[in-house]
């Protein structure tokens, strides 16, 4: 990743931790829930409900992203988005993030500044009022970003995966298959003759297919829809990160139900919609007499066949994304 042309390259190893933090922290805001943000050994965050929701996610160069394809801002935005949707899937409102980054000492500090900008911009767009309250920096042979996110249930019961019942309608909010289509484009057309990621080709794809590439590199999931679903009476919910069918199976197994998807509701390519990962939409079940609230769309129905997923009555593949499947230990 080359630094911005208007600034000289400065490796983070040449600056040292304190100087790097001095470049990053002013780009971030602690958010409304922070009583004490970054600067001490730990942050202090309000939990007015008496409980808090917490989740964590790790992004590693190679299996999770490629610096040649993603801008630093993309990385920060996606790191925020992937955690915010996990909080939203519990029916909670995101309040705070803690971010840890490990990076090669030779990495330009502008990359970390860009990640910080992406985190701030992602929070502003997807979870207004939430902020970054602290984190950690370390050295590593590859770039890694770990985010821990917190959320406020605001007096509501958490929405679990295990509450769906036969007869419930199955509804989804967010993109279906766009991130997978974007990734397929990048692998097909943004690699050089050696198979390595090609930054120039990726930039061209951003212009040619902006919606699909952005869905993969900087998704805009419906974070606010989590609270909306909880208030509407959702019986079960989760973040669709590993593929719609794979994640639906998790609700089915936890709730002891089956799910029959409707191909007409999944768009022109139902199989890609079911298999594609990383859209980070929200999948929820609602009682049959509760109209799913906007932006949820009905895509199926819960059946009594525990753990069985079908498409118009026919069995469907639920493989989806598995970070260990086919992993050879070499990042791209």
Please give the pLDDT value at position 6.
45
CA R_g for the chain:
20
**Element spanning 79, H or E:** helix 72-88
Task: Give yes or no for a contact between 302 and 170, defined as CB atoms under 8 angstroms apart.
Answer: yes
Quick check: is 235 in a domain? Answer: yes
Q: Do 34 and 148 belong together in one domain?
A: yes
* Alpha-carbon span 239 to 60, nearest angstrom: 20
Q: Do 204 and 264 belong together in one domain?
A: no
Quick check: is 96 in a domain? Answer: yes
- Per the annotation, binding residues for Mg(2+) are 41, 55-57, 86, 136, 239, 242
- Domain containing residue 238: CATH number: 3.90.650.10
Q: Do 138 and 27 belong together in one domain?
A: yes
- Per the annotation, binding residues are 41, 55-57, 64, 86, 135-136, 161, 239, 241-242, 278, 321
Please give the pLDDT value at position 317.
81
- Per the annotation, binding residues for substrate are 64, 278, 321
Domain limits for position 145: 15-152
Task: Give yes or no for a contact between 87 and 94, defined as CB atoms under 8 angstroms apart.
Answer: yes
Quick check: is 114 in a domain? Answer: yes
Please give the pLDDT value at position 253.
97
- Domain containing residue 111: CATH number: 3.30.1330.10
Q: The tokens of 169 are what?
A: 């309608």
Q: Do 24 and 111 belong together in one domain?
A: yes
Quick check: is 136 in a domain? Answer: yes
Comparing C-alpha atoms, which of 268, 272, 250 is closest to residue 259?
A: 250
Give the phi and the psi of residue 262 in degrees, each rounded to 5.
-105, 120
Q: Do 34 and 98 belong together in one domain?
A: yes
Q: Do 228 and 213 belong together in one domain?
A: no
Domain count for the chain: 3
Q: Do 147 and 53 belong together in one domain?
A: yes
What is the per-residue burial (b if ≥16 Cβ within 10 Å, else e) of 103-114? beeebbbbbbbb
Q: Where would I find the H helices in 256-291?
A: 270-275
Q: Do 211 and 83 belong together in one domain?
A: no
Q: Do 226 and 211 belong together in one domain?
A: no
Quick check: is 199 in a domain? Answer: yes
**136: Cβ contacts below 8 Å, ≥ 6 apart:** 100, 101
* Alpha-carbon span 25 to 207, nearest angstrom: 32
What is the per-residue burial (b if ≥16 Cβ within 10 Å, else e) of 247-264? bbbbbbebbebbbbbebe
Please give the pLDDT value at position 331.
38
Neighbours of 145 (CB within 10 A): 26
- Return the residue matching tokens 């973040």: 239
Q: Do 203 and 264 belong together in one domain?
A: no
Ramachandran area for residue 261 (φ above 0: left; ψ -120 to 50: alpha; else beta) = beta
Q: Do 87 and 211 belong together in one domain?
A: no
User: Which strands make up the sheet holding 236-240, listed edge to edge?
Assistant: 236-240, 281-286, 169-173, 297-303, 258-261, 309-311, 314-315
User: Before 295, cis peptide (omega within 30)?
Assistant: yes
For the chain, 332 residues long, the average pLDDT of each consecutive 10-residue run is: 57 95 95 95 95 97 95 98 98 98 97 98 98 97 98 98 98 95 96 94 97 97 98 98 94 98 94 91 97 97 96 87 55 36
Please give the pLDDT value at position 324.
62
**189: Cβ contacts below 8 Å, ≥ 6 apart:** 201, 205
* Alpha-carbon span 12 to 295, nearest angstrom: 43
Q: Do 209 and 228 belong together in one domain?
A: no
- Per the annotation, binding residues for ATP are 135-136, 161, 241
């Amino acid at each position: 990743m080359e630094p911005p042309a208007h600034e000289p390259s400065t490796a983070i190893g040449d600056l040292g931790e304190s100087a790097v933090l001095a470049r990053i922290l002013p780009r971030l805001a602690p958010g409304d829930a922070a009583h004490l943000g970054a600067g001490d050994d730990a942050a202090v965050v309000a939990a007015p409900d008496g409980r808090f929701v917490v989740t964590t996610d790790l992004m590693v160069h190679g299996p999770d992203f490629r610096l040649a394809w993603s801008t630093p801002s993309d990385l920060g935005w996606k790191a925020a988005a992937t955690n915010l949707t996990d909080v939203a899937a519990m029916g909670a409102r995101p309040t705070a993030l803690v971010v840890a980054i490990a990076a090669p000492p030779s990495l330009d500090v502008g990359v970390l500044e860009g990640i910080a900008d992406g985190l701030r911009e992602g929070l502003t767009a997807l979870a207004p009022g939430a902020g970054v309250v602290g984190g950690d920096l370390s050295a590593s042979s590859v770039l890694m970003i770990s985010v821990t996110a917190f959320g406020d249930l605001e007096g509501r019961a958490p929405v679990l995966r295990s509450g769906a019942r036969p007869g419930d309608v199955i509804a989804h909010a967010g993109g279906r298959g766009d991130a997978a289509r974007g990734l397929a484009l990048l692998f097909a057309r943004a690699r050089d003759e050696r198979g390595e990621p090609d930054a120039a080709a990726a930039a061209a794809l951003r212009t040619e297919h902006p919606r699909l590439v952005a869905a993969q590199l900087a998704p805009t999931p419906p974070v606010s829809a989590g609270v909306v679903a909880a208030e509407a009476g959702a019986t079960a919910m989760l973040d669709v990160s590993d593929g719609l069918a794979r994640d639906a199976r998790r609700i089915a197994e936890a709730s002891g139900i089956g799910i029959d998807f409707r191909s007409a509701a999944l768009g022109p390519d139902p199989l890609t919609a079911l298999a594609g990962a990383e859209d980070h939409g929200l999948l929820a079940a609602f009682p049959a007499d509760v109209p799913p609230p906007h932006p949820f769309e009905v895509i199926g129905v819960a059946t009594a066949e525990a753990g069985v997923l079908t498409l118009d009555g026919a069995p469907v593949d639920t493989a989806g994304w598995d970070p260990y499947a086919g992993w050879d230990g070499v990042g791209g």
